[in-house]
Chain A
């Protein structure tokens, strides 16, 4: 009997050590089967850090142009500022589409909300507030005390009015209004710098593959949902709440007509996330098919967006808008399918009784 137990014990030890290979002490406690560690580093480098940098560079360049406009209030500078604004906004959409700083650090919980005012209140209130500020004689910096009054949304109104033509805008672009634009730009730049510095210096995204991938996927789903409902559905009256009511003022950039470009940028960022790491992470967790489907859908959506001949603001009756809404809806479901497939790495039937 002793011999039995001894040999059993040795066998235990031997087998125990030997087949440890499918148990990884770090990730082994949490399933998912994600094994590609380099993917996360590539993703962080090529998407997060790159985008944070270019967004910051874009706002700095915009602020420089705002300084010029503040001195001249002339047409050339106004047009230059408008172009720079568009470039910055598109960079900002990249950051927003996959924003994780708020998950990684509580200090960033409200940052995006401070930077931009879309879907977080009544745009009409903002417009009348800004008009009052531009008209009044009080200290400008004090008048712009609200975060919303220093947001990208406010800057857009300052620079574009509500889709006004350039000569009408030039008439309104007095010293006070151009100075307000500069103050807004500078405030936005401080947030942009905080975000950039965070992504450059913070490595917590790379700490846990499992946690970061989950947060990233949740962000992508959230981004698809908001794209579908807020950026397409509400203005076109597709969503239940505004059924049948077409209202271009519900679009994100109805003042500057950039809404479709913003949508394209968001979709392209999803695609870059996929191609720079997520696809490989998904494949290592056995969900290649689902990741491929997402890639395909993103490409279809981008092609459709690019086929619009007029700005989205002027195409709300086009049937293509409804098509776009439906495609993004599919995208959202495909992200859910990806999550489910990464969770069920193998088909277990548990078919045996007791």
Chain B
């Protein structure tokens, strides 16, 4: 019944990477510590897996934390049915390659009522297909701890969040009454039905993520790299025009250009950027001179200041 994978051990001792710099090493150590603490203290942890770059780093850290054992919890992918096709292909390969347990959940109500970003608007769509779907999946699995890849540098209300972020039985976050969180001593005591969201990447910045992906050679979805792709311009965003379900509105034309994505989500709500960055070095160089934040490409964050906090209080990740 041994699940130690000797081939993994052999592979790693053979290819000696240069050691991580102290900055990334400190971030990695902190994240591994959090993974182990949650896995030890909670009965039913789960890891939210969104297939993006942060999730890829999160997964890599989980594998490191529990090596030589298997990752001792399942991954949960809250699907909306509107993810980039390349994301789903990538997900399935990762799950197979690393021998992971994956739970995929699509909100059955949303699917039955045919809730789409085009027909219901981005706010309602996100509410049903992401926030409500996540609550359904967490309830169904009776999960008492859920790892997420959120970083404090992403947004002002995230900057306020604890590493162990306490949730009521109906998944609400009360930002005014967070538990004090001193040193690296985490309070994992909860009652039945309550849960904790745990954020091992809290102290990472976007540049840290990319530098770590490079240093550790972590596979990511190819959409992050620039390539000639078809797109349409809509609401000031470049939307990938590959999925046959995308209907052109009057006046819209399909164009081609060298573009890439800084974040990945649902393709109709995620804007591409013009970029020639085809390698990790290029991406990091581009980032270090970037004049806009990564959130800029996301329709759901742009509604108003404080919109993320509102969504989070309702149970959004």
Q: Do A and B come from one complex?
A: no
Which residues of A does B touch, CB under 8 Å?
none
